[in-house]
């Protein structure tokens, strides 16, 4: 893997389209990608695909459509990625702090220098759900006219791919600005999700999290750990701590965290 080669770096950026309703927009997105040197398209639960309208709108990018992966859920689409950025015109109460596309792109390229990343777009009807945004560590907005902020899906994909390409070729991202001393490789999406599930089980077992009244605990924790950009070793440490907390203390009655009877 060569983190400074812009062609290779752009090749590690996955475009994920969730719940699209118009196949034409899938084709337009494929065309937008290929003109900027991106090739990996993943479709989560598309209403209609494959479709002649998609092929027609893709024009010379039919190969991107042919190689597109179709999956049933966002977790599957994000498998193997080390960073995911949600694209939304709308502010969310929770989820990552929004950044403009131009602000976000240099960091996205640094991550793409190290592994696969994803740009996650919503469908035409209702965009991304809060749960989908919360699965991403970054939230990116294309700054627009506040009185009408919603771009066509294909146009939104074009803007992001354009910004990525300009930044990738303008100045190759510094190799080591994400890396820190003692760093281990970034954790993958499924490792991070495995940690959240484990943490949620512990918090439920100890009574810290009441599943009938969870408030906003998990989204807040997701935002906290999303900012931290967890590494593989850090996930192992955190899961080790949780596993230790689940183990009864020698001589203790009942399970850890369970009130004594």
> Which residues, 6 or more positions from 46, have their beta carbon under 8 angstroms from its beta carbon?
17, 19, 20, 23, 26, 70
153 binds ligand SAH (CB under 6 A): yes
Binder of ligand SAH out of 103, 149, 166, 176 (CB under 6 A) = 149
102 binds ligand SAH (CB under 6 A): no
Q: Tell me, rounded to whole angstroms, the distance of Cα 152 from its chain centroid.
A: 20
Q: Of the two residues 43 and 178, which places its CB atom closer to ligand SAH in the complex?
A: 43
9 binds ligand SAH (CB under 6 A): no
Binder of ligand SAH out of 69, 90, 223, 232 (CB under 6 A) = 90
Q: Of the two residues 54 and 230, which places its CB atom closer to ligand SAH in the complex?
A: 54
20 binds ligand SAH (CB under 6 A): no
- Kindly state the smallest distance separating residue 218's Cβ from ligand SAH, in Å: 22
- Kindly state the smallest distance separating residue 191's Cβ from ligand SAH, in Å: 25
3-state secondary structure of 139: strand
8 Å CB contact between 141 and 77: no
8 Å CB contact between 34 and 67: no
3-state secondary structure of 42: strand
Residue 249 burial by CB count (10 A; 0-12/13-18/19+): exposed, middle or buried?
Answer: exposed
Taking CB under 6 A as the binding criterion, the range among 6-14, 46-54, 58-66, 149-157 that sits at the site for ligand SAH is 149-157
Residue 39 burial by CB count (10 A; 0-12/13-18/19+): exposed, middle or buried?
Answer: middle
Residue numbers at the binding site for ligand SAH (CB under 6 A): 87-90, 121-122, 124, 126-128, 141-142, 144, 149-151, 153, 156
């Amino acid at each position: 893997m060569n983190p400074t080669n812009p062609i290779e770096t752009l090749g590690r950026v996955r475009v994920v389209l969730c719940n699209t309703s118009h196949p034409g927009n899938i084709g337009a997105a494929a065309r937008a990608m290929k003109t900027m040197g991106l090739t990996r398209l993943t479709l989560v639960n598309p209403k209609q695909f494959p479709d002649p309208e998609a092929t027609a709108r893709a024009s010379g990018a039919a190969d991107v459509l042919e190689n597109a992966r179709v999956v049933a859920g966002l977790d599957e689409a994000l498998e193997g990625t080390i960073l995911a950025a949600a694209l939304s015109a709308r502010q969310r109460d929770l989820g990552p702090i929004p950044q403009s596309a131009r602000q976000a792109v240099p960091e996205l390229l640094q991550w793409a220098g190290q592994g696969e990343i994803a740009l996650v777009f919503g469908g035409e009807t209702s965009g991304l759900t809060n749960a989908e945004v919360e699965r991403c560590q970054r939230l990116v907005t294309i700054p627009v006219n506040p009185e009408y902020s919603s771009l066509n899906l294909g146009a939104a994909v074009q803007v992001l791919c354009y910004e990525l390409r300009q930044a990738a070729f303008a100045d190759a991202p510094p190799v080591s600005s994400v890396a820190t001393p003692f760093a281990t490789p970034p954790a993958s999406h499924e490792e991070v999700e495995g940690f959240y599930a484990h943490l949620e089980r512990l918090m439920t077992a100890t009574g810290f999290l009441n599943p009938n009244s969870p408030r906003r605990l998990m989204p807040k924790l997701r935002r906290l750990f999303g900012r931290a950009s967890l590494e593989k070793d850090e996930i192992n440490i955190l899961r080790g701590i949780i596993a230790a907390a689940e183990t009864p203390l020698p001589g203790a009655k009942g399970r850890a965290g369970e009130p004594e009877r």
